[in-house]
Chain A
């Protein structure tokens, strides 16, 4: 049985141990997790350790092509992720975890195109000099946690419920769109991350801009646009009373976290919203030391929230 079928069979089931024991879970970190979002990787590997799940980094992986390749050269945009996928597939893996939303988006898009276009497939497999048969399931962070690990298993590890904490989940665009290719959650009103938040014992906060654009890579070329868009999201979250924000995308994180001080200055209104990766929040609920989750690596300090967690758990 293929991993994808297993996923389908038991959405909340636990297939991780078998797969992990068999060494069938590939991990594609991409550039962000090795650089600007190292906290994401640190916390991810830490919670997987707690869950007793082993993922193996794809050997000799390369850029997924996000941001630049698909707007310049279509073949390159497919070939780059296809090479990573082909290495994994030929290495006998059944499932790929790509925690970065842009990476998972590119990997899934390439896989979709190769699955539906025989001529393109021929061209790409010739140029990467490897066969590829689209036989693996490709998962973003949330899909992996809910579909491969399973809610029930995560629940068993929650030792320090975060009850009393109000958490807003911000999905951004790439996790759920385009829906035809991502095949994941409701593209206009996603709920998967909120479900994970609920498992930690925290209270998911409903607000209006869950999938609104954060401005993405315009952060470098048009920071004003990004501040306006990200500002909309952050102020709406604030208005709905959240203590912090969780994300599953490095670029979202960077805009919401790194630009926050500037946004506060520009709009002259305090935000003070720590932005954590979903893996960090899960880690906290597992009772892992915040330092081991690299929570001190963010621009907006999470101290107040950590203190609140400590107080609530007393």
Chain B
């Protein structure tokens, strides 16, 4: 015989203001099987929980219903309290009379009637609850980090320093990401490579980190604690362990024209065998087979091989497939700059001296094509006047993207500042929509660019850029003075917006995590679970999640790492027991359930007799992947699947309670 306790929470005046809580309690007491009904100001408080525990003990309750706030808030609290008194935690049901009643209704009488109905339904449900045990999944204590930019490196280092093995996979020949391409960083003007290279070296040398550069994750399957990974290590044509990084090979390469350097954003050339930049980690060149004469002209040229002392160049190396098993993953694939070809009026690509923000970084950088002297690409002269155009692509729903790229206001202020420092007597103009400088020291930084470095800020957009007598004429609006302005500039820098790294949507599909309409990975909860993806065991970091600056990327890398270390602090991962359950005796093996499952949680299971003869194939639910969504239950023709805690008889009883 069921012995149910009902507890009605006032939530201060949150519930009691709109719902007659005493009436709900009185109605509860009338239901057969309810042996105790109580209302209290704050059930979640310590005294509230204590009274709940005492009544469980005194009345020897078999189930409890809380008419209170959403189960998202305190279901766990009450389940734990019940468990302490020896009750199976799944014998706790919540009737949500706050979010679904008091907060959304005004009429007290009708709100009370609804609250009573919801409470009655839960009483009928709890009467039919069966004990459920949480599922435990074993954990492979090894992590995979995809993307070796600052966020990925930070995540990898933190995890590795926590004593866990990490596999760091980077698509490019070197780790370092976009940050290593930057010159100095706002607002402190630290040299980016000076603070980045130590981290890169540390990641490379860390005993717990296995680094795969020039490699891509090809396939991922499995679930939290047990992801099977396939990594393609592209053929470098150089034997890494023998290479000393001396540089004889790339000095010998005859292909030193017409191959644009990706690292210098097309502002300089590289050879076919190359390291992207001098501080590359690992300092091992890559042979780009798509442009190498050896591969294009039938193997005749082998100048790099001849020049190589340790003879570590091997034209026959093949792509290698590496398989690993990990327990958790960090996706930190970073970003790309938007293509600005839709802004024909700005002439990017047509006029050599219209450059992107990242190209200007390379022109500022001591390791860049001009060795840190600002020279314009067209004729190598040092510009005296530069116009910076902000929000090129960002905040432009018509042509670009509606979101703010977040870093452009700050890097433009930095560019204008460094330009003033490097070219004395020069003048910069900045066209902006709004200045967004909200972190520590940012506003002061922008101010000083305006006040000390003399940058002229014009609030408005640029309508056209064209060439006239060797000058770039920038036509725009100064909306504060209401005038049309024309500036004759030597160079124009476009603050191009950021978009997710090309292919990040494909990776998301492979990982089974959700992403937004732009392709940025979506966090499990935008405020309370910002480091977690929608899939258990996969964490997010860096710009792959959305526009953010370096400190935020570092924080997110560390956050993902701490989540993984927390996960790995136990030997097993506990999954809620409310998952799908197959009745193997009635399953007809149609596998419609498999087709509708969004989490790949259903597989085929063979049932064999003692002699090993196959008797039957049935659906099998992987508890590590199942989220208990219930899609398979609806799809099942033979009614062979149930979700524990949401059985048919419980649902029918709830509906009946409502009808009576």
Contacts and interface: CB of A to CB of B under 8 A. Distances in A.
Interface of A: 186-189, 208-209, 212
15 contacts: A186-B344, A187-B344, A188-B343, A188-B344, A188-B345, A189-B344, A189-B345, A189-B347, A189-B350, A208-B466, A208-B467, A208-B468, A208-B473, A209-B466, A212-B464
Contacts of A208: 466-468, 473
A209 B345 CA distance: 10
- Sorted nearest first, the 7 A-B pairs with minimum C-beta distance are A188-B344, A189-B344, A208-B466, A188-B345, A186-B344, A208-B467, A188-B343
Given A189-B347, A208-B467, 5 more contacts: A186-B344, A189-B344, A189-B350, A208-B468, A212-B464
Interface of B: 343-345, 347, 350, 464, 466-468, 473
Contacts of A212: 464
A208 B465 CA distance: 8
Nearest to B465: A208
Contacts of A186: 344
Contacts of B344: 186-189
A163 B438 CA distance: 59
A27 to B, nearest CB: 31
Contacts of B467: 208
Contacts of B350: 189
Nearest to B469: A239
A277 to B, nearest CB: 24
Contacts of B468: 208
A186 B399 CA distance: 12
A187 B344 CA distance: 8
Residue among B344, B345, B350, B473 having the largest count of chain A Cβ atoms under 10 Å: B344
Nearest to A186: B344
Contacts of A187: 344
Nearest to B347: A189
B326 to A, nearest CB: 46
A306 to B, nearest CB: 31
A62 to B, nearest CB: 33
B465 to A, nearest CB: 9
Contacts of B473: 208
B144 to A, nearest CB: 43
Contacts of B466: 208-209
B535 to A, nearest CB: 38
A208 B350 CA distance: 11
A187 B343 CA distance: 9
Contacts of B347: 189
Q: Which of A186, A188, A209, A212 has the most CB of B within 10 A?
A: A188
A189 B341 CA distance: 10
Nearest to A208: B466
Nearest to B345: A188
A314 B387 CA distance: 49
A212 B463 CA distance: 11
B188 to A, nearest CB: 38
A232 to B, nearest CB: 11
A208 B345 CA distance: 9
A186 B343 CA distance: 9
A187 B345 CA distance: 9
A186 B345 CA distance: 10
A237 B347 CA distance: 18
Contacts of A209: 466
B346 to A, nearest CB: 8
A186 B344 CA distance: 7
B248 to A, nearest CB: 44
Contacts of B464: 212
A186 B468 CA distance: 22
A186 B340 CA distance: 13
B389 to A, nearest CB: 14
A212 B350 CA distance: 18
A190 to B, nearest CB: 8
A95 to B, nearest CB: 28
A209 B465 CA distance: 10
